[in-house]
Chains A and B, each alone.
Chain A
Amino acid sequence: MSLHLSYRAAPGNPWFSWQYVRDNSDTILAALREHASLTGRAVLIAALVAVPLAVAAYWFRSLAGPILALTGVLYTIPSLALFAFLAPYLGIGALTVLSVVVLYALLVIVRNAMAGLNQVPPEVREAAEGMGYGRWGRLFRIELPLALPGILTGLRLATVSTVALVTVGVVVGRGGLGQLIFAGFQNNFYKAQIMTGTVLCVLLALVLDLLLAGVGRLLTPWLRGRAG
């Protein structure tokens, strides 16, 4: 009942409109670009910090417990609270958004990279040692390649959740596509704008995920026969 009423009351508010997309392509593309660049930078920074951290936890077992506990607690903290903690110090802008999403991506990658490294069979490690590999040689030639599936899983999860998380950046005015969604809501609940932002968000996550899956396939040719 109310469905029909609302549709009749707002005939000029469709869920999707090419007219809107055409007329606002500049804004939409700028939002998409900002979203993609924030996501890309965040995942890159997070990976550069997370993988060495996971290796440190793998080498020095005593670090593994505290790292897991700390990431667990941090992961429980809601994103909006993290924005609240950082914004007064980092200011209103892209730096705050980047810091928050880097932190969450970091947690996901560290956990998956640690799981990947711990999955390396002890026999393999011993065999490598017997062949005369040192600590670093073993890491780069044996352990990291074998942990690659775990690391890639972490990267994919981190990327997809980062795309969704960046939208919360509207709280400091830098939410990428979230800005589009939120503006649509405030602009008299303009459905076409909200929907365009949402669809682009999900598509961006999907494309980046497929991209990383493809990279993963290229990097781990030895897994291909098993999966197929």
Chain B
Amino acid sequence: MNAIEQAIVWLNDPLNWTNPGGILDRLGEHLGMSAAAVLLGCLVAWPVGLWLGHTGRGGGAVLLVSNVTLAVPTLALLTILPLTFLGFGRPSVVVALAVFAVPPLLANAYTGVRQADPEARDAARGMGLSGGQVLRRVELPLAVPYLAAGFRTAAVQVVATAALASFVNGGGLGQIIRAGFGLDIAAGGGQIIAGGVLVAGLALLVELILALVERVVTPRPLRRTSRRAARRAADAVTGG
């Protein structure tokens, strides 16, 4: 029996889904910590990014943050944070994942406000709106496609990275793969591949759903911008 057949057999065993620590448990953990991490990332990155974009300062800092986080291995943060005041367990894993959600969220919030039509901004100023009002009533609505694109990039990345939480026994679907490796390739090959299918499938599913959501929530006239935003977001993240 080759590894793929083993994987199909493994996935077809109902106990592998419903057991404690089975697929459903792991899926819940995976989604729970991903959601918390993305939420934390949004709470930190969006206000900062919007404010930096509004004042027009700190473009270099935004770039620096994304470049530095690119160089820091996820494994390092996952192992270091539990040893700080965060302690072992869920909080440190969530913070580690949130760190990697920040760059796309920050870069898109910044770009989203910066790209707002200067004439619209001037008109708002001329109507007597204060700085905060310009940000809230003009720049923020215009930045929505960018915020959505950044959210999607960040969420997909966090769901993908959450698989690594298994290195520090942080739970999630990655745990299934790690357990398979623990069994040795010959015995656990099927489980390893099954875990890989689950992890990859979840990431692709989240990407697909968020792409649809992004399309639905963006008003039709802004859809063209949204596509451009996604592309620019990708450029901002890859620094291109």
User: Interface code B183-204, partner A: CB below 8 Å = 1, 0 otherwise?
Assistant: 0010001001101110110011
**What is the bound-complex CA distance between A73 and B211, given in angstroms?**
13
A76 touches B196 (CB 8 A): no
B200 touches A167 (CB 8 A): no
B238 touches A164 (CB 8 A): no
**Given A88-B3, A181-B75, A182-B167 in contact, is the A81-B83 Cβ separation under 8 Å?**
no
Which one, B16-24, B66-74, B120-128, is touching chain A? Answer: B66-74
B181 touches A87 (CB 8 A): yes
| B225 sits at the interface (CB 8 A) | no
B76 touches A201 (CB 8 A): yes
**What is the bound-complex CA distance between A18 and B36, given in angstroms?**
38
Residues of A near B197 (CB, < 8 A) are 81
Contact of A194 among B79, B159, B195 (CB under 8 A): B79
Closest-by-CB residue of B relative to A158 is: B238
Main secondary structure of the interface of A (DSSP, over half): helix
- On chain B, which size bracket covers the interface? 35 or more
**What is the bound-complex CA distance between A109 and B178, given in angstroms?**
30
**What is the bound-complex CA distance between A81 and B162, given in angstroms?**
11
Residues of A near B200 (CB, < 8 A) are 76-78, 81-82, 85
**Given A81-B203, A184-B79 in contact, is the A202-B156 Cβ separation under 8 Å?**
no
User: Interface code A183-209, partner B: CB below 8 Å = 1, 0 otherwise?
Assistant: 011000101001101100110011001
Closest-by-CB residue of B relative to A190 is: B83
Contact of B80 among A92, A164, A194 (CB under 8 A): A194
**Given A171-B178, A202-B71 in contact, is the A112-B3 Cβ separation under 8 Å?**
no
| B239 sits at the interface (CB 8 A) | yes
A2 touches B85 (CB 8 A): yes
Distance in Å: Cβ of B74 to nearest Cβ of chain A: 7
**Given A181-B76, A181-B79, A194-B76 in contact, is the A76-B185 Cβ separation under 8 Å?**
no
Residues of B near A163 (CB, < 8 A) are 71, 73
User: Interface code A134-172, partner B: CB below 8 Å = 1, 0 otherwise?
Assistant: 000000000000000010011001001101110110111
Residues of B near A79 (CB, < 8 A) are 160, 163-164
| A115 sits at the interface (CB 8 A) | yes
**What is the bound-complex CA distance between A76 and B215, given in angstroms?**
19
**What is the bound-complex CA distance between A170 and B167, given in angstroms?**
9
B3 touches A78 (CB 8 A): no
**What is the bound-complex CA distance between A197 and B78, given in angstroms?**
13
| A56 sits at the interface (CB 8 A) | no
A85 touches B76 (CB 8 A): no
A194 touches B196 (CB 8 A): no
**What is the bound-complex CA distance between A108 and B3, given in angstroms?**
30
Contact of B177 among A170, A171, A202, A205 (CB under 8 A): A171
B238 touches A157 (CB 8 A): yes
B residues at A contact (CB < 8 Å): 3, 67, 70-76, 79-80, 82-85, 87, 156, 159-161, 163-164, 166-168, 174, 177-178, 180-181, 185, 189, 192-193, 195-197, 199-200, 203-204, 207, 238-240
In the complex, the 4 A-B pairs of residues with the closest C-beta atoms, listed nearest first: A84-B196, A78-B160, A205-B71, A198-B76
A residues at B contact (CB < 8 Å): 2-3, 6, 73, 76-85, 87-89, 91-92, 108, 111-112, 115, 150, 153-154, 157, 160-161, 163-165, 167-168, 170-172, 175, 178, 181-182, 184-185, 189, 191, 194-195, 197-198, 201-202, 205-206, 209
Q: List 10 A-B contacts (CB under 8 A).
A: A3-B84, A6-B87, A76-B156, A80-B196, A81-B197, A84-B177, A157-B239, A194-B80, A198-B76, A201-B71
